[in-house]
Amino acid sequence: MRRHDRRAPYAVALAAGALVVSACSSGGGGGGGGGDGKSEGPGEDKTVSANYSIGSAADAAGPAPELPGAKKGGTVTVLQRDAFNHLDPGQIYFSDVLTSQMLYNRSLTSYKIDEKGRVKVVGDLATDSGTSSDGGKTWKFTLKDGLKFEDGSPITSKDVRWGIERLYAPFETDGPLYIPQWLNGDGNAFRKALPDGPYQGKHLPSSVLDTPDDKTIVFHFQAPHADTPYATAMPNIGAVKAEKDGQRKYDNAPFSSGPYKVGSYKVGKSLTLVRNEHWDPKTDPIRHQYADRFEIGFGHQFADSTRRFLADQGGDKNALSFSNGVAPEMTEKVLGQQDTKARRLLEVQPYVDYISFNTTRLKDVKVRKALAYAMPNGQILQQNGGASAGVVATNYLSPAMDGYRPTDPYGKKDKPAGDPEKARALLKEAGKEGQEIVYAYANTDVQQKVSVVVTQALERAGFKVQKKEIDSNTWRTSISEVGNKFDIYRTSWGADWPVSSTVVPPLYDGRQIADGAQNYGHLDDPKVNAEIDRITRITDVKQAGAEWQKLADRILTDDVPGVPTFYNRLFSLWGSGLGGVKYHPVYGTVDPTGVFVK
Amino acid sequence: MLRFLLRRFLGAIVIVLLISAITFFLFFALPSEPALMSCGKNCTPDALAVINKNLGLDEPVPVQYWHYMTGIFTGRDFSVGHCPAPCLGYSFSNQQPVWDTIVDRFPTTLSIALGGAVVFLVVGVGIGMIAAAFRGTWIDKFFSSLSLIGNSLQIYFVGVVALAVFVSGLHWFDNPAYYPITEDPVKWFTGMIIPWLVLSIIFIANYSRMTRSQMIEQLAEDHVRTARAKGLGRRTVFFRYAWRGAMTPIVTLFGIDLGSLFGGAIVTEFTFSLHGLGRLAVSSVSETDLPTLMAVMLVACTAIVVANIVVDAAYAVIDPRVRLG
């Protein structure tokens, strides 16, 4: 359930940018991304289902293939805007931190991305992506040989059990909770099974989570879950050594199982990752250990990092950013500078921006359809940074999703500025000409600009718009209230993995309507709920992908609890001294696992 | 002098205590949910209660204040462990004692502020003196115009331009960065040059104008005319008689500007991606990290009060007419 936020600017003239809570995406090879507004990766106009697959045991075998021209040594500088909110893998959910944890943390499964951007879910700590039985309710994983923590001690199934059971502790509140919830119940109900986590010597019964030997982990879920290999790729489904688990303090001192370990960490300021000599490349099909160290610095605005990458001087030649995009005002300069061609990428991310319609207040579906037709997607995108910031959205699902099809029920490709005539006709048909719309938006520079184009477009279509500016710090809380007094508001969403089971249910399942939940349009359609249940039971993830797309389209055409506005993009630049930089389609960030200093 | 300093020191303690109390009661008595911000998005009532208890937020505010102030001298125990003295609280956002963060960030802000102050005092006062010495000439007009331009500039604008021109364009300087002076004094100096210059720009104009007008006023004073009549050299008259008299209001202005200097340092930190107390204060506000915010306020206030004592002492040294009683 990742969100894609645009953090409110701090007080001092800061540009708003994307803060992302986990994601999935279309494959796209990094490097050399086009500057012509067309994604180099399998982006918006391509069927991307072929990019995703579940890997075999052979795919899980290490080492990762050597990269041409790769060398060992050197320091990679990473310029990040936002400080990492967590290092504890149990608490990690934002995309920038998800990316960094790949360097020091390994999960049961993970994403193996080839040079063409194709994604395979493969065993990481595990020998494969898991074997299921009992109709998909039971999943078994076997650990590889030779796995070690940073102190050289072996990683066993007990450590994985500990890593999972600590998610039940009261302080573990920020990370994804799929596995605990599938094991012991939705919401926070699962915590009752182990209220203190493993810290008081108690454990989950073997009928729920079993470790019959040092190599085997068995999950007994309450219901079938075909996408378990994806869920076990979340960072918190890995190994934590009990003796090193400082509970809350683990957030500043995680114990590494990956190719790098924490050298020094100054919260909010910098993080240095150094080589972990006990990491064995033969056990790892995904990561390399080319650079000696990663020096990650926080507080670098997009303009600052872009300026430094462009100048490409001194230590900045070996600099990149996981998630800082090119500053919109510097896009032309980047595109115009020829030497950046080989060191930039432009890729569709798994995040979608929407304008949600409050179906509790806007009960007439014709009015909602009129709003959907009237919405000026192209202009909204323009205010967010234009082609380098995204692509006009045509349906609810991102091109980054397995099973995505470029359906366009409201003709947004042809009419990105909206279709006021059609909207007007629908309003007339509904007898709602001059319908008043309460439009809420966050008080940020970008959203203020967006509010202007949205208001103008809706008024052209015959609506009367009443704008409500909300403080950006309380905006998400305000729109998440079921009883909110707004008709339409901007929302956003990113899938946790490239299967729409992490998009459609949280956004459109009527049983998930609650304060703080993400069914922002308050859609509660029994037919939709039943369809969600049916698709959830499909054991073939590929088949489910196509079904989710059909359902998402049906919701968009029949229920209209909102309209998608644009698919987010990452336009990234890095220094000329680095090789092996690629795009991580699932996280929507730059993938550091193969980076080397030339 | 000693008695004067002692009196000022005791007064400073009272001021710091008052400010700490007002700030604490404002932060912790007003409706806010610091525990909620620390609790995360899947927060449970149990977790919230635990954090409230651990932070001592379940106690009456006066009791919290007492624990806070005594903790500075005796240390405190939190659920996550002991916070040794000087304990300024525990940040559940950063998962560490606040003091550790303050110790890490304070040198950066101190470097920016002190270095910037040295630059603007030297350059500002220098320009003012030159303009006064050449009053009415093109030199005076040139520097006066320059001051006017400087006065209308802002750090976030000049900073970005300076980075684009001097760092990215001409490569005269490295990217601004803070290195501890104890580890590498040369790097500390080179890393701070641009922030100092940019921060000083907004102050230079004020100081040059003030110095110019004070110097002109002093040069017209009777005692300066008497000194000239006695046949003293122009330089002696200028520096020993006029300049000394002109410095009194400059020092006063500097005392007033110490607060602004801290504010300027905040903008400078953001402009140059430096991590000092200013940035820490801003991020603490956005994260509702009250223990950290409280500590920043306390440290900043203490620093300003101490600096003002130093300024007062300097004032007394410069102008013997000031009676220290």
Contact A438, A409 (CB under 8 A): no
pLDDT band at A199 (very low <50, low <70, confident <90, very high): very high
pLDDT band at A12 (very low <50, low <70, confident <90, very high): very low
* CA-closest candidate to residue A98, choices A233, A1, A275: A233
Tokens of A320: 């990149």
Q: Which residue carries 């004020």 as its tokens?
A: B206
pLDDT band at B287 (very low <50, low <70, confident <90, very high): confident
d(Cα A494, Cα A489) in Å, to the nearest integer? Answer: 17
Q: How far is A481 from chain B (nearest CA, A)?
A: 15
Tokens of B8: 């000022």
pLDDT at A31: 37
Helices assigned H by DSSP within A214-311 = 228-231, 302-311
Tokens of A219: 């999950």
d(Cα A334, Cα A331) in Å, to the nearest integer? Answer: 5
pLDDT at B322: 67
Among the partner-chain residues A266, A311, A473, the one whose CB lies closest to the CB of B286 is A473
Q: Give the least confident one: A97-101, A328-332, B199-203, B310-314.
A: B310-314
Per-residue pLDDT at A153 exceeds 50: yes
In angstroms and rounded to an integer, the radius of gyration of the C-alpha atoms of chain B is 24
Are the beta carbons of A248 and B80 separated by less than 8 Å?
yes
Mean pLDDT across the stretch A510-528?
A: 91
d(Cα A263, Cα A240) in Å, to the nearest integer? Answer: 18
Are the beta carbons of B273 and A316 separated by less than 8 Å?
no
Contact B102, B284 (CB under 8 A): no
Under DSSP, is residue A294 helix (H, G, I), strand (E, B) or coil? strand
Single pTM value for the model: 0.88
Q: Where in chain B is the domain with CATH 1.10.3720.10?
A: 99-322
Per-residue pLDDT at B235 exceeds 80: yes
CATH topology for the A66-293+576-597 domain: D-Maltodextrin-Binding Protein; domain 2 (3.40.190)
Among the partner-chain residues A248, A270, A308, the one whose CB lies closest to the CB of B175 is A308
pLDDT band at A28 (very low <50, low <70, confident <90, very high): very low
Burial category of A475 from C-beta neighbours within 10 Å (exposed 0-12, middle 13-18, buried 19 and up): buried
Which homologous superfamily is B99-322 in?
MetI-like (1.10.3720.10)
Per-residue pLDDT at B259 exceeds 90: no
Per-residue pLDDT at A76 exceeds 90: yes
Mean pLDDT across the stretch A53-76?
A: 95
B55 touches chain A (CB under 8 A): no
A466 touches chain B (CB under 8 A): no
Cis peptide before B60 (omega within 30 of 0): no
- Give pLDDT tens digits for B300-324: 888 888 888 888 888 777 777 765 5
Q: Which residue carries 């001092």 as its tokens?
A: A12
pLDDT at A213: 97
* CB under 8 A, 24+ apart: contacts of A337-342: A337/A310, A339/A312, A339/A576, A340/A309, A340/A310, A340/A573, A341/A32, A341/A35, A342/A31, A342/A32, A342/A576
Domain A348-570 annotated CATH 3.30.1950.10: no
pLDDT band at B144 (very low <50, low <70, confident <90, very high): confident
Are the beta carbons of A313 and B171 separated by less than 8 Å?
yes
Q: Where in chain A is the domain with CATH 3.10.105.10?
A: 348-570
d(Cα B297, Cα B286) in Å, to the nearest integer? Answer: 15
Per-residue pLDDT at A41 exceeds 60: no
The residues, any chain, with a CB within 8 Å of residue A226's CB and separated by 6 or more, are A132, A136, A538, A539, A540, A541, A544
Which residues of chain A have a CB within 8 Å of the CB of B274?
Answer: 299
The residues, any chain, with a CB within 8 Å of residue B143's CB and separated by 6 or more, are B127, B128, B130, B131, B208, B212
Which residues are registered as beta bridge partners of A353?
A492, A566
- Give pLDDT tens digits for A443-457: 888 899 999 999 999
Per-residue pLDDT at A14 exceeds 80: no
pLDDT at A577: 97
pLDDT at A284: 98
Q: How far is A362 from chain B (nearest CA, A)?
A: 29
d(Cα A483, Cα A486) in Å, to the nearest integer? Answer: 9
pLDDT at A591: 96
Under DSSP, is residue A384 helix (H, G, I), strand (E, B) or coil? coil
pLDDT band at B248 (very low <50, low <70, confident <90, very high): confident
pLDDT band at A37 (very low <50, low <70, confident <90, very high): very low
Helices assigned H by DSSP within B30-172 = 34-39, 45-54, 61-74, 98-133, 138-151, 155-162
A97 touches chain B (CB under 8 A): no
Per-residue pLDDT at A371 exceeds 90: yes
More confident residue, A363 or B155: A363
Which residues of chain A have a CB within 8 Å of the CB of B36?
Answer: none
- Percentage of chain B lying above the pLDDT 90 cut: 41
Give the amino acid at B271.
T
pLDDT at A374: 97
pLDDT at A13: 28
pLDDT at A105: 98
Among the partner-chain residues B95, B104, B174, the one whose CB lies closest to the CB of A269 is B104
What is the overall mean pLDDT for chain A?
90
Which residues are registered as beta bridge partners of A346?
A571
Chain A 265-294, CB below 8 Å of chain B: which residues?
266-270
Q: Give the least confident one: A29-38, A271-280, B163-172, B263-272.
A: A29-38
d(Cα A489, Cα A439) in Å, to the nearest integer? Answer: 6
- Give pLDDT tens digits for A433-486: 999 999 999 988 889 999 999 999 999 999 999 999 998 777 888 898 899 999
Q: Which residue carries 């993995």 as its tokens?
A: A497
* CB under 8 A, 24+ apart: contacts of B8-15: B8/B309, B8/B312, B9/B309, B12/B305, B12/B306, B12/B308, B12/B309, B15/B301, B15/B305
The Cα angle at residue B158 between residues B142 and A312, in degrees rounded to 5: 130
Burial category of A215 from C-beta neighbours within 10 Å (exposed 0-12, middle 13-18, buried 19 and up): middle
Q: Where in chain A is the domain with CATH 3.40.190.10?
A: 66-293+576-597
pLDDT band at B161 (very low <50, low <70, confident <90, very high): very high
Closest chain B residue by Cα to residue A308 = B168
Give the amino acid at B187.
K
pLDDT at B151: 80
A58 touches chain B (CB under 8 A): no
- Give pLDDT tens digits for B47-68: 788 888 877 888 898 999 999 9
Which residues of chain B have a CB within 8 Å of the CB of A476?
Answer: none
Mean pLDDT across the stretch A332-361?
A: 94
Q: How far is A275 from chain B (nearest CA, A)?
A: 24
Among the partner-chain residues A14, A170, A267, the one whose CB lies closest to the CB of B44 is A170
pLDDT at B324: 54
Among the partner-chain residues B42, B96, B174, the one whose CB lies closest to the CB of A314 is B174
Q: Which residue carries 């504890």 as its tokens?
A: A88
Closest chain B residue by Cα to residue A246 = B80
